[in-house]
Amino acid sequence: MFSLEKLVSIIQAWLQSTLRDPWAYVVVCVMVGVAAIALFAILGLMLVYMERKVAAHMQIRLGPNRVGPMGLFQTTADTLKLVMKEGLTPDGADKFLFNLAPFMVMIAAMLILAPIAFAKNFQIWDISIGVLYVAAVSSVAVIGILMAGWSSNNKYSLLGAMRSAAQIVSYELSAGLSILAIVILSGSLKISDIINSQADGWWIIKGHIPVIIAFIVFIIAVTAETNRAPFDLAEAESELTAGFHTEYSGMKFALFFLAEYINIFIGCAIGATIFLGGWMPFHIGNWEAFNHVMDFIPSSLWFIGKTVFLIFLIMWFRWTFPRLRVDQLLNLEWKYLLPISMVNLLVVTLMAIMGWHL
């Protein structure tokens, strides 16, 4: 059976037997870096393709279907086009910040990749404060967006960046609180511990209604944090043309574009890990035969499947709803999501203390 865990251990054993110790580590680091970048590129291409197909089918269209079988290479062609385009820097722009911003956004997205468990024992860095790390790093992205908006010397960009800052900062709260609910239940910040605590059932099932509420709040918050419709105020095409990346072109624009999709992937991966059990297969109580069949599916597939499901959900939102207004956006957070998730957190704590969740 295919398993990423075995692959990793084989590679590691081989490296350690052929190279001396420090060099083995260096090679591993390089390999991880290359793998991460490759993953990004592939993810970006696949997700953009997926988005276009999902959008098309919801809009009774066919979507990309010309380049390659079923239009699979359409996004590759688009990327090539973007790479070849001239990267303009506007005249009045703050050149340094303007060019730095897309990389900031991209690096922030890349950093969050570290603690995500793609399969059983397949994780770049199982840091002991995994969840906290994710919450912390994900707010770095807003600096990149602010930089882009400010340095473009364009009023649309500035408005977009300001909106984005207000939005990300406030939705961070409810995202954090809903993650906390699970941290309380599983008793650990470490990603692998959280996943292991779901061996006998995912939190969304074990945790009853409070966790479902937390899950819904989390999904909304992730949608908002990634600046996706209906919360795409930072880009708000019909109001701000393209918001904070109005002035970007060519590869720098592509980086923003890519970062958006990477952020979606990461948000959904965290959601899948925390609420849907990460790579944990679906188990029902003591149906041995059923559980065995479920175990047979590779853990990486479980993880990818759950993540893609959540991504689909977010895309579904985007292609259904109109956009909120900026004050409504903040109302939603401060008047609805935040109080609900706070009360919810109390209930979850009570649940954890009383042990109702088992």
Partner 1 sequence: MFLKEYFKTVYQTISSLLTGMRLTGYYFTHTKEIITQQYPETKPVLADRFRGEVIMPHNETNEHRCTGCTACELACPNGTIKIVTKNEINAEGKKKKAIDTFVYRLELCTMCNLCVQACPSDAIIMSNAFEHSVYDRRLLTKVLNKPGSKIMEGVE
Partner 2 sequence: MLEELGTNDQGDMIINVGPQHPSTHGVLHLVITLHGETVKKVEPHLGYIHRSIEKMSESLSYRQFSYVTSRMDYLSSHINNHACALAVEKGLQLEIPGRAQYIRVILDELTRIASHQLWWGALAMDLGAFTPFFYSFREREMINEVMEETCGARLTMNYIVPGGVMFDLHPDFQKKVKIFLAEFKSKIHEYNELVTGNIIFQNRTKGVGYISKENAISYGMTGPSGRGSGFKCDVRKLHPYELYDQLKFEEITEEGGDAFARYMVRIREMEQSMNIIEQLIDNIPEGDFQAKTKAVLKLPKGDFYSRVETARGELGVYIVSEGGTTPYRIKYRSPGFSNLSALNDLAVGGKLGDLMATMGTLDLVIPDIDR
- The footprint of partner 2 (CB under 8 A) covers 55, 58-61, 155-156, 159, 163, 229-230, 232-233, 236-241, 319-328
- DSSP letter at 127 equals -
Alpha carbon distance 56, 156 (integer Å): 29
Q: Helix, strand or coil for residue 326?
A: helix
- The residue (of 27 and 58) whose beta carbon lies closer to partner 1 is 58
Render the burial of 264-282: b for 16+ CB within 10 Å, e for the rest.
Answer: bbbbbbbbbbbbbbbbbbb
CA 229 – CA 223 distance, rounded (Å): 7
Contact of residue 57 among partner 1, partner 2, none (CB under 5-8 Å per partner type): partner 1
Question: Which CB, 56 or 124, lies closer to partner 2?
Answer: 56
**159 belongs to the binding site for partner 1 (CB under 8 A):** no
**What is the CB neighbour count within 10 angstroms for residue 158?**
20
Candidates 55-63, 166-174, 176-184, 251-259: pick the segment binding partner 1 (CB under 8 A). 55-63
Gap between the terminal Cα atoms of the chain: 32
Angstrom distance (rounded) from CA 145 to CA 153: 13
Whichever of 124 and 308 has its CB closer to partner 1, that residue is: 308
Residue number with CB closer to partner 2 (23 or 336): 336
Identity of the residue, 163 or 283, whose beta carbon is nearer to partner 2 in the bound complex: 163
The site partner of 62 among partner 2, partner 1, none (C-beta below 5 to 8 Å per kind) is partner 1
Whether residue 230 is preceded by a cis peptide bond, meaning omega within 30 degrees of 0, is: yes
Please list every residue from 283 through 342 that binds partner 1, using CB under 8 A: 316-317, 319-321, 336, 340
Smallest separation, CB 305 to partner 1 (Å): 18
Q: How far is CA 267 from CA 45, 61, 154, 219, in A?
A: 17, 28, 30, 9
Q: How far is the CB of 227 from partner 1 (least distance, A)?
A: 19
* Minimum distance of partner 2 from residue 275's CB (angstroms): 25
Q: Which residues pair with 117 in a beta bridge?
A: 123
Nearest residue (CB) to partner 1, 54 versus 183: 54
Q: Which residues bind partner 1 (CB under 8 A)?
A: 54, 57-62, 65, 316-317, 319-321, 336, 340
